[in-house]
Structure 1
Amino acid sequence: MKKILAILLVLVLALGMFTACGGGADKETPADGGTKTIGFASCNLNDTFQTYVVDAATAKAQELGYKLDVQDAQEDVVKQQDQVNTMIQQGYDAIMVVPVDTAAMGPITDAVTAAGIPLVYVNRNPFGTDNPPEGVYYVGSQEIVAGQLQGQFLVDKMGTKGGVGILMGILSNEGAVKRTEGNEEVLAQYPDVKILAKESGEWQYDKGMSITENWLTAYGNDLNAILANNDGMAIGALQALEAAGRDDVIVVGVDAIPDAVNLVAEGKLDATVLQDAEGQGAGGVDVAVKAATDAAPEAVTWIDFVLVTPDNVADFQ
C-alpha cells in the first residue's frame, strides 16, 4: 500500500511539473484561444478612400493569420482616443491609426507606447519630416508630391494663364495641407495663373459640389480649372459643372478611386493621382505584424503617388 501511494505521489508531482513547464497555456498564445488581433482606428469610413485602405488591411491581416478590429472615429479626435484606449485595455498585438487630426496624436502615441504595443500610423503622417519615436511607425505617401503632380499636369494642359479653384480637405489633416502646398508651389512659378479661391470641402462629395456652384456664380468664365485634394470633391465639382453646362473647366483629383478612374477613361475627369490604398492598408498590417513579432521593420515606409491620365488610365482599370 505504501508503495502504491508513493507511485501516485510521484505521478502527481510529475503532472504538476509538466503543467508548470508548458503543459498549460503558452504565454504567447492569445487569451481568446489563438487569434491575434490588430486594432485599426480609422478616421472616417464615410471617406471612400479610407474604406479601400481598410479593405486592403483586412485582407492582409487575414492572410497573415490576424484578426483586424476596425473602429470608425467619424472625424472625432476624442472618440478616436477612446477607441485606442479600449484597444490598449484589451491587449491587442498592434494598433494601426489613421489620424483624425495629425496635430493631436500625442496622447495616442504616448498611451500606446507606454503600454508596449507597436503603433503604426497609416495614410496621414503626424510626424511631418521627422522620424517617428521608438516603437512607432508610419506607412503612407509624401502628400506634397500629389499636389505637385496635379499642378504640373494642369499647367501642361491649360497653359500658363488661367483661373484656378482649389478644393481642400479637412485643414487639420496633413494631406489637405501638403497637397494644397504642392499645388501652390507649382502654380507660383506662373504669374498669369491665378488661384481665385481655396475652400475646404472636408473631403466630401456634396461639399465639393456646393462650393463649385458658388464659384461658378462668383467667377463665371474666369474659372478655368479646379484642383481637388481628393476624388470625392472632384466628382462633386464635376456634377456642378455638368449641371451648369460647363465642360471647359479642367478638374483633377487625388486617390484614383474606381469611380474617378472610370471618369478619366470616359474623358470627364481630366486626371487623378493614384494614392495606393492597397499599398498603404496592406503595408500597414505588414509593418504591424513585423513589429509585433520583433522583426524590426523600417520606421517609415513610403508608397509612391502616380499620375493617372487618359494616356495611361487603362493600366489602372
Structure 2
Amino acid sequence: MTVGYAINNLNDTFQTYILEAAKDKAKENDMNIRVENAKEDLIAQQDQVNTLIQNGVDALIVVPVDTSAMDPITKAAQNADIPLIYVNRNPYAGKEDKMPKNVYYVGSEEITAGIMQMEFIGEKLGGKGNIAILMGILGNEGAMKRTEGVEQVIKEKYPEMKVLNKETAEWQRDKAIAVTENWISTYGKDINAVIANNDEMALGALQAAKKNNRSDMLIIGTDAIPDAIEAVEKGELAGTVFQDAKGQGGGAIDVLVNKDKAESVTYVPFQLITKDNVSEFK
C-alpha cells in the first residue's frame, strides 16, 4: 500500500515529528509513504493531493494548510474512492457528525490545550493580570480553538484578567519574537503573560523576553518539542502542553490498518507539563 502524505509545511517542527511517527508505523505495516510539502500554500496542497491521486496512491493523510478550505480535497479523495485521514488539524471540528464516509480525523481536541494553558497561568497569577495570545495561522482550526479555550477560561473563571492583545505569528519563532517585542514596547510591565498556540512561538516570545529583561513574564506553549521541554526544565518557560506526535502519526496509520473497525474520530489526549513533572517527558 502506498500512502500519500500531504503536509502543511516541513518547516513546522511538530508536524515533522508526526510525519516521522507515521513513517515508522507505516514501515511496520509494509506501507510506503510519499510526502508532498505545501509550504503553507493552500492551492499547492490541493494540486499536490490531486497529483498523488493521479499517481495511484491507495490512501491519503493530510495536514491541512487551512481547515476551512478542505472541501476540494475531501471531494477528490471521495471521487477516487480512497480513504482520507486528516491528522492534527480537524476540518470537521464541531461538526464531526457530518464527516463523509471514508474520511477520518486523528488528533487532539484543540480547545483543551487552551483551557489547560489558561487555567495554569491564571492560577500562577492569582487570578489577576493581563495576558497576550500568540496565535497560529488565522483560519486554522488549531489556532482558533486553542485561543477560544484561553478566552473561555478567562470569561468563566478569571473575570479580573484581561487579554491585552492577540496576534498571529503564523506558528513561527522568528515572527513571534517581533510580535512579542512590539507588545513589550507597547504595554511594558502591564503584560504579565504570553500564551502561545505552539512552542515555536512560545520560544520566540522567550527570546524577546530575555532581550528586554522580562524574565518575570510567564510564557507557555503547546506541543512539548525538545527545545520547549528544556526551557521548562530551566524555568524559562512556565510550561507547555504535551501533544502526542507519536499517537497522532501512528494513529493515522492504525486507522488504515484497522479501517473496518476504525472510528471516524480518534482523539489523542493533551497533558500539561510544568517544572514539577517535566522530567517525565524527557
TM-score range for the pair, normalised by the shorter chain length: over 0.9
SS of the residue aligned with 1:146? helix
Match of 2:161 among 177, 187, 193: 193
For 2:201, the equivalent position in structure 1 comes to 233
Counterparts in 2 of 1:1-317, with a 5 A limit? 36-131=1-96, 132-188=99-155, 189-291=157-259, 295-317=260-282
TM-score w.r.t. the length of structure 1 is 0.87
Distance 1:231 1:99 in 2: 19
Deviations 1:67-106 (A, max 9, x none): 1111110111111111111111122111100001111100
Query: In structure 1, how many angstroms separate the alpha carbons of the residues matched to 2:93 and 2:215?
Result: 38
Helix, strand or coil for the counterpart of 1:186?
Answer: helix
Shift of 1:215: 0.5
SS at match of 2:258: helix
- 8 A contact 1:96–1:288 mirrored in 2: no
Contact 1:119/1:288 (CA < 8 Å) preserved in 2? no
Give the Å deviation of 1:45. Answer: 1.2
Report if aligned partners of 1:94, 1:289 keep a CA contact under 8 Å in 2. no
How much has 1:156 moved relative to structure 2? 1.0
Counterpart position of 1:21: none
Partners of 1:95 and 1:288 within 8 A in 2:
no
Distance 1:288 1:253 in 2: 31
Deviation at 1:250, TM superposition (A): 0.4
Which TM-score applies when normalising by structure 2? Answer: 0.97
Give the CA deviation at 1:246. Answer: 1.0
Code of the aligned partner of 1:156? E
> For residue 278 of structure 1, what is the amino acid of its counterpart?
K
CA distance in 2, matches of 1:117, 1:190: 47
- Structure 1 position 113, deviation (Å): 0.9
Q: CA deviation at 1:192?
A: 1.8
Letter in 2 for 1:80: Q
- Structure showing greater Rg: 1
C-alpha distance after superposition, 1:256-278 (max 9, x if no partner):
01110111111111100011111
1:205-239 deviation line (CA, Å, top 9, x unaligned): 00111111000100001011000000000000000
Pairwise CA distance, 1:130:
2.1
Separation of aligned partners in 2, 1:203 and 1:267: 22
Q: Is the 8 A contact 1:162 1:194 kept in 2?
A: yes
SS at match of 1:163: strand
Q: Distance in 2 between matches of 1:84 and 1:190?
A: 44
Letter in 1 for 2:245: A
Distance 1:68 1:266 in 2: 38
Aligned-pair RMSD on alpha carbons? 0.9
Distance in 1, matches of 2:72 and 2:251, equals 24
Secondary structure of 1:261's counterpart equals: helix
**2:104 aligns to what SS in structure 1?**
strand
Secondary structure of the residue aligned to 1:176 is helix
One-letter code aligned to 1:71: E
Give the distance between the partners of 1:266 and 1:70, measured in 2 at CA: 36
Aligned partner letter, 2:271: V
Runs of 4+ in 1 over 2 A off after TM superposition: 288-291
Deviates more, 1:141-150 or 1:45-54: 45-54
Assess if the C-alpha contact under 8 Å between 1:169 and 1:203 holds in 2: yes
Q: Which amino acid aligns with 1:268?
A: E
Give the drift of 1:290: 2.8
Partners of 1:52 and 1:152 lie apart in 2 by 27
| Matched letter for residue 192 of structure 1 | E
Superposition deviation, residue 288 in structure 1: 2.3
